A and B are shown apart, each in its own frame.
Chain A
Amino acid sequence: MAPELLQVLEDAKTRWTGKVKPGVDGGGAAAFHLECEAPELPDVCNWLFAERGFSFGGLIIEQRTRWELRYVFYGPDSGWAHVVTFLPATEGRVPSVSRLIHAADWHEREAEDLFGLVFEGHPRLGDFVLHNDVWQEGIEPMRKSFDGSRAVASREPDLTWKPRRIVEEAGAFAMPVGPVYSAATAPVHFQLETVGEDVIRAQPRLFWAYRGLEKIAEGRKADDVLLIAERISGTSAFAHSLALCQAVESLCQIEVPRRASWLRMFLAELERLRHHVAAIAGICESTALSVAAAQAAILEEELLRISGALTGHRYLFGMNVFGGLAADLEDNACRHAAAQVAQVSGRLATLQAMLSTSSSFLDRLENVGNVSASNARDFGLVGPIARASGVSRDLRRAQPYCGYERVEFQVPSESEGDGYARLRVFFQEAAQSARIIVEAAERIPAGRVRTPEAVLRPGAALGWVEAPGGAALHWIRLGDGGVVERYRIVTPSFANWHGFRLAAEDFAFQDFPIILATFALSVHENDR
């Protein structure tokens, strides 16, 4: 582990002598954990965040003999810190850290809704994942006692529930958008409070597509949960399945053959490239620059066809298995795909050049939807969105996995934080992905593509991946026989939806769809 991390560990020991139990994670992952009591929790977390430069990554809750709350932090440059606290099984109260670390806000609200834990001091607990006009309070589906396989028979929802209004101005009203709105969009509801021209407050209401994936995974075999992982968000299927595979492989000490590792990187970058091209198409579509949108859509379809021809599925479903890939890909096919990708990348560069000289297009993006660097850090934004605002963490660099340390690539970062900065980041990352693909195609070694039947053993581990939308964390706990006991999914869209309102507010109504398009958020990835 890096000396800086060890230093932080030492400082923690001296600062909270006796109150904090430090430890270093085995298995070679660069992580340490601090166990502390519930009352110390806000102080410890805030110390890591405010004074030592750590960023909040996610909250993992497990209900075992007692409650285990694991606050995962990213190190300033690399590494992890886990702050763990235990609560007795009957006592579900813990102090909230959200006032100090706002990035934990939604994690705590989700935990309260799904587990029934009370985060004292959090001002906004209540309707979040489970909508109050469909469910009553107290359902707590993530508790072990709740049977997730059947519908809940009797319910007493609050039919008079209405969203909170914040703007107090004469003539202000709250314009509702969704959940069914526009043409072919994912379900999300916005309450846009306005006096007519500008959106003063934009409040998204999510979880219309909440499928309870973490709950239905419990009790299933890990192989089937892999299928669920692919379908958290179909457009980032490979990335999420890769994260779960890495978690299980790290837990069960399964060695992944080098060929599989290279092919995984190849396919992951192919997915990233296609995701970013789709984002660019969405941005051009939102500004009604039809020809550019069509050009980008052509490239997206071509990438989908390349993926489909190469692996049999346009979204790369069914490729990852524990221990490698489910089927081998021929080297010629990979090189052919890489050549096609290079061609796509060239046309993408032309598109970028043309867009950067279209002043009416840039007018809609420049200085629109600004997210400042400090806000990006406070809200824990990740991925291209954060990198456009100066928060330049990329897990492929910070926490290399799957062989990324073996290839040359750049992690673009911009500082303006406006729509144009995000567009530029998408373009540059897409170019880098194409570069990795082309380089990887030449360097894939021969060999097996899968470790023969891996043995799954009980235990817990964290897997991570830099998904196209940003950092994703998967926490898996296996029981006997390869059955999943707990599956926790922290997605990049969850963090970025939280910060979306920063960009949408105080801009005109007409800018709203454009700002939404520049974020390229996935509702399904957030909702799970």
Chain B
Amino acid sequence: MSLLLVIILGLCATGIVLAIVLEQERIPAALGWLGAIASIVLLWFSGASLFGGAVFRATLWTIPSLATLTLSLDRLSALFLFVTGLVLLPGSIFASGNLSQYLGKYSLRSFSVWYFALFATLVLIPLSADAVSLLMLWELMSILIYLLVNFEHEDREHTRSGYLMLAIGEAGTLLIALALIILAGNGSLEFASMKAAGDALGEQARWAVFLLAFFGFGVKAGLIPVNFWLPQAYTSAPWPFVPVLAGATLNLGLYGIVRVNGDLLPVAIAGPGLVALTIGSVTALLGILYATTQSDLKTLLAHSSIENAGIITAALGAGFIFIASNHPAIAAIAFAAAFYHMLNHSIYKALLFVATGAVDSNAGTRNIDRLGGLIKVMPVTGAFFLVGALSIAALPPFNGFVSEWLTLQAMLQSAELASTGIKIVFAICGAILALTAGLAVTCFVKAFAMSFLGMARYESAAKASRARASSTAPMGFLAVLCVFLGVAPTYVIPLLDGAVAPIAHQARAADALVPPFFSGSIHHGELPSAFVADFHKLGAQVGQSVMPGRGLVVLHRGAAANPVVFAMSTSYMAVVLLLMLLGAYVVFRLIVARDRGVERRTVWDGGIRRLLPEMTYTGTGFSNPVRVIFEAIFQPTTVEDTRETVGKHFRAAIRRTRGENHVLDRLVLDPISDAALWMANGFARMHHGFLNAYVFYGLGALLAALLVARFT
């Protein structure tokens, strides 16, 4: 195992060296090859642990009176590494294809160096097993991300976004550091000893650790109120880097939250879970609201990432609450949902970003109001974007559906809890998540339909060229994964089990979700026969002769006190769907269309001479109802309306502009910055230049110090 790790890091180092040595034209290819190979080795490395149970542990060197730098791979880390590998593989290929556009403008060398350095960091962070290495690597990652986001540094906007990200990232790192220090207490800073010391912490310290770690890691994860950097940073990041940014780095924030609260300091009371649940739900809602009303595809996807991070966090929060309430079986479901959603989000978000990158490169714009009709000129990209959109909108039989369904089912299991207050919170948050899911469908219908369907709104959209292979191949890979993860959840959930079990303190958590209906599978005999008979009547054993594994139905049976069953099978759904589509096609082709040809005519437009693109709905128009309904959140700040007339009644032009700022800016940032400025002004008033006053200040400080010393 250590060999594999060495190979990965070695490939990264080779990448850095080659980036410095090679001439600029050859760097993209090198990046692509090395990145892909390193990703494959990473997948092998993490897969060995996730599927095979291999363990890995290495101590590096000891820093006296601080900690011994340790690397350790357990199944939780393996899961995150696996996801990272799944994203970095297509991401590297896409990056290599997309990078050459910067030749001559920016330094490809720098990009490549930072890219491989970040690769190494992304690999090492989940492996680090002590606070010092974690913090050092975290800092390194923050800086590298900043450098990569600010790659197109000539644009002031990008520098501003990058700087904002860096600043808030630093604040986050500070919070994480504080959390880990409090957690360590008097002991050493290795995770192993932190785990042991955790029991001794008092309630206040536990809350402090939770909140600090939650919001500290939440910066990277994209949770409110510290996620205001995310949309701008994602929009400013260069295309080669964006899939990695969205698919890999966001997960690290979630990794931190799970590591601290699930592993190092397991939650004992419901409070932290409630905080996570609420913040997650509200994050999701705000994320999707702003996504729906965006007309820039990149920013739309960024807000959508916020939404997904919120859903994952909400599921994690639900899991924490269930653990604290002594329902480990349901907690396992919640964690399985969270991890499944994290996996799904990385895949389909990377897919969508790659597709959008192809659109931006070829159609020249990523503004939805300037696109349209792309499916005619970029059919492959359109098809893959559609798969991504269907997945993220949580439509069966794609992967987003499985994880959203699991999340909502986990929410519903709150009926088993005792406390009414907690149940009410669950109900409200469940409703918010359901609303989010609905808005997500709206958002991605808009994103897909307005960009790919209909008429091209500008020349550049009508004449877009097809995407390169270096974009199509990664899209294809990710799309296949989306389909697989959607159609075969019964194979994925047992794989996640390894990561879920230790956190939920529930062994064989997958059994709770994937009962062994197939008569050939190992634990088939443990199921009650009446239960098996009932479900065999519904066809739960269909496919047992051809498919390996336990079964194709995801099903959970409540405890004896509350024997509610929830079940779903996207596998069967996919088969039935395919058969129906095939059947409809066959019937149409062979029977209906046999004597009749199919004629194509122009669209019915009411009888006008020609339908112009300016007469078709824009993305802004499509999402306007959402903006109007949630006016209280959006609160447009300025609506300028100038009407030019000739004479009193002949109108020449009506010009309107709308200015909006984010609700977080209004509610969080502006008050904080106002307060800070107020304090600063106050202090500024004290600096008036009179020497006498400064002497007086010194005297006052001395007196205060004496008084403090006297009374303590």
Contacts and interface: CB of A to CB of B under 8 A. Distances in A.
Given A170-B295, A196-B621, A197-B625, A176 B611 contact: yes
Contacts of B608: 176, 178-179, 189
Contacts of A155: none
Contact of B655 (A133, A169, A179, A195): A169
Chief secondary structure at chain B's binding surface: mixed
B606 A195 contact: no
B615 A195 contact: no
A177 interface: yes
B445 to A, nearest CB: 15
A133 B623 CA distance: 34
For A170, A171, A176, the residue with the greatest tally of chain B CB atoms inside 10 Å of its CB is: A171
Interface in A182-237: 187, 189, 193-197, 200-201
Interface in B593-631: 605-609, 611-612, 614-625, 627-628
A173 interface: yes
A123 to B, nearest CB: 5
18 contacts: A98-B647, A99-B648, A165-B614, A166-B651, A169-B656, A169-B657, A171-B295, A171-B618, A174-B614, A178-B608, A179-B607, A187-B607, A194-B621, A195-B624, A196-B621, A197-B625, A200-B654, A201-B654
Contacts of A181: 606
A437 to B, nearest CB: 39
Nearest to B626: A196
B652 A166 contact: yes
B620 A196 contact: yes
A167 B606 contact: no
A489 to B, nearest CB: 24
Given A162-B612, A189-B608, A171 B621 contact: yes
A180 interface: yes
A103 B651 CA distance: 15
Contact of A378 (B295, B614, B648, B653): B648
Nearest to A190: B606
A159 B608 CA distance: 11
B649 A196 contact: no
A124 interface: yes
B497 interface: no
A180 B620 contact: no
Contact of B369 (A162, A171, A187): A171
A193 B620 CA distance: 13
* Band of interface residues on A: 35 or more
B651 to A, nearest CB: 6
B369 A179 contact: no
A176 B652 CA distance: 20
Given A167-B654, A167-B656, A379 B649 contact: yes
Nearest to B628: A197
Contact of B648 (A102, A167, A168, A174): A102
A172 interface: yes
Contacts of B627: 196
Contact of A172 (B612, B616, B618, B646): B618
Nearest to A131: B609
Interface string A7-46: 0000000000000000000000000000000000000000
Given A98-B647, A196-B623, A176 B654 contact: no
A169, A177, A200, most chain B CB atoms within 10 A: A169
Closest 7 CB pairs of A and B: A171-B620, A196-B624, A99-B647, A196-B621, A169-B656, A102-B649, A180-B607
B237 to A, nearest CB: 24
B650 interface: yes
A170 B369 contact: yes
Contact of B647 (A100, A162, A197, A201): A100
B650 A168 contact: no
B611 A168 contact: no
B622 A196 contact: yes
A194 B616 CA distance: 11
A174 B616 CA distance: 7
B622 A123 contact: no
B615 A175 contact: yes
Contacts of A173: 614-618, 621
Contacts of B611: 176
Contact of A159 (B609, B620, B623, B651): B609
A102 B650 CA distance: 8
Contacts of A378: 648-649
Give the contact-size bracket for chain B: 35 or more
A163 B618 CA distance: 18
Contacts of A175: 615, 617
A45 B503 CA distance: 88
Contacts of B616: 173
A161 B621 CA distance: 25
B607 A170 contact: no
Contacts of B628: 197
Contacts of B647: 98-100, 102, 123
Nearest to B629: A197
Interface in A133-168: 133, 159, 161-162, 165-168
A510 to B, nearest CB: 11
Contacts of B657: 169-170
A174 B621 CA distance: 11
Given A168-B653, A171-B295, A200-B656, 9 more contacts: A98-B647, A167-B654, A170-B620, A172-B620, A174-B615, A179-B607, A195-B618, A195-B656, A197-B628
Contacts of A174: 614-615
A112 to B, nearest CB: 15
Contacts of A194: 621
A124 B650 contact: yes
Nearest to A169: B656
Contact of A166 (B606, B609, B654): B654
Contacts of A180: 606-607
Contacts of A102: 647-650
Contacts of B648: 99, 102, 378
Contacts of A159: 609
Contacts of B612: 162
Contacts of B655: 168-169
A166 B645 CA distance: 11
A145 to B, nearest CB: 29
B606 A179 contact: yes
Nearest to A180: B607
A374 to B, nearest CB: 10
Contacts of A171: 295, 369, 618-621
Contacts of B649: 102, 105, 378-379
B620 A123 contact: no
A179 B604 CA distance: 12
A80 B649 CA distance: 25
Interface in A262-286: none
Interface string A74-107: 0000000000000000000000001110100100
Interface string A429-469: 00000000000000000000000000000000000000000
A176 B613 CA distance: 11
Contact of B607 (A100, A168, A178, A379): A178
B591 to A, nearest CB: 33
A123 B653 CA distance: 13
Contacts of B622: 196
Contacts of A197: 624-625, 628
Contacts of A123: 646-647, 650, 652
A180 B618 CA distance: 23
A162 B608 CA distance: 10
B451 to A, nearest CB: 14
A171 B621 CA distance: 7
A197 B634 CA distance: 16
Interface string B421-445: 0000000000000000000000000
A83 B653 CA distance: 33
B609 to A, nearest CB: 5
A195 B628 CA distance: 11
Contacts of A99: 646-648, 650
